[in-house]
Amino acid sequence: MNLKGKKAIVTGGSRGIGKAIVIELASQGCDVLFTYFSSVEAAQNVESESKKFGTKIRALQSDASKLSEAEKTVNYALESFGGLDILVNNAGISKDNLLLRMSENDFDDVITANLKSVFNFTKSSVKPMVGQRYGRIVNISSVVAITGNPGQANYVASKAGIIGFTKAIAKELASRDITVNAIAPGFVITDMTRKLNEKQKEAIINQIPLKKIGQPEDIARVVSFLVSENANYITGQVIHVDGGMVM
Ligand code: NAP
């Protein structure tokens, strides 16, 4: 995938899937501005690791939940890179609990960090994309948006919301050659899933036809496909990258 000269924003690029996306896009020739919430050291490491590809890499502390911070981030990317072609809405959190024990705050926090953040960054990014009549947007949803999952009503609602948002915006923006797609990862080894114990991991592997947990790079490679010329005729789709869990 050759993305030479393209300019990208990736939210939540300090760890896990976001980090793999930053490295993959940089390795294909992209200038990348990535955000993080609090992991300063991890973000600095991603910045130095990605610089070896010779493109411009910027890390920025920016709370994806806040529209004003998304606007500042997009302006910083436009100033630093002179344009914006690609947006990857990856930042996300989970605060799991059964509904009867789930607090209103935990519901609101997850919806705001996972779904409102996608609105914030997409709204802030589309103006320059519409102006140049080109843009590639990829939103990271989840397998549980399709299957449901007990103990994750807030998370599942946010990830299902991302799919609806993706389809609505794909239709709004298609005439300007802006594609908008979602990826629904299955279980991927990151800090978000590392807290599972061995028994829980075994139970998960049993539900996966390919019989293995995914790696962050499995998701990153599909992002780089969706933002490349090879995917020019794909929009409004949900790509399942889950070892066959959803068929
Ligand atoms: P992770 O390892 O926990 O990393 C989350 C990233 O998001 C970090 O870079 C974090 O920054 C950032 N972040 C969180 N809240 C933020 C905020 N308000 N503003 C800006 N950045 C924020 O998670 P992951 O497993 O890589 O997940 C990445 C995405 O994939 C998420 O949307 C997740 O829901 C989705 N997903 C993951 C899996 C999986 O199995 N891992 C499966 C399906 C979908 P800090 O480092 O500063 O905290």
Ordered per-residue pLDDT tens for the chain, 247 residues: 689 999 999 999 999 999 999 999 999 999 999 999 999 999 999 999 999 999 999 999 999 999 999 999 999 999 999 999 999 999 999 999 999 999 999 999 999 999 999 999 999 999 999 999 999 999 999 999 999 999 999 999 999 999 999 999 999 999 999 999 999 999 999 987 787 888 988 998 999 999 999 999 999 999 999 999 999 999 999 999 999 999 9
Angle in degrees, 0-180, between the axes of helices 16-27 and 216-226, rounded to the nearest 10? 50
Asked if 130 contacts 178 with a C-beta cutoff of 8 angstroms, the reply is yes
Q: Which residue has the tokens 């298609």?
A: 174
Please tell me the predicted confidence (pLDDT) of residue 14. 98
CA distance to 78, 110, 177, per residue, from 219 (Å): 26, 22, 24
Ligand 1: centre distance to CA 194 (Å)? 13
Please tell me the predicted confidence (pLDDT) of residue 192. 76
Please tell me the predicted confidence (pLDDT) of residue 239. 98
Question: Which tokens hold the place of 25?
Answer: 């896009």
Pick the residue whose CA is nearest to atom 9 on ligand 1.
12
Q: Which residue has the tokens 């300090």?
A: 14
Q: Is 125 in the pocket of ligand 1 (CB under 6 A)?
A: no
Of 23, 48, 53, 11, nearest to 221 by C-alpha is 23
Ligand 1: centre distance to CA 114 (Å)? 9
CA distance to 69, 137, 222, 246, per residue, from 165 (Å): 20, 12, 20, 20
Cα distance between residue 206 and residue 210, in whole Å: 9
Q: Is 191 in the pocket of ligand 1 (CB under 6 A)?
A: yes
Ligand 1 atom with least separation from CA of 114: 32
Q: Is 155 in the pocket of ligand 1 (CB under 6 A)?
A: no
Q: Which residue has the tokens 């519409």?
A: 130
Please tell me the predicted confidence (pLDDT) of residue 106. 98
Q: Is 223 in the pocket of ligand 1 (CB under 6 A)?
A: no
Ligand 1: centre distance to CA 131 (Å)? 30
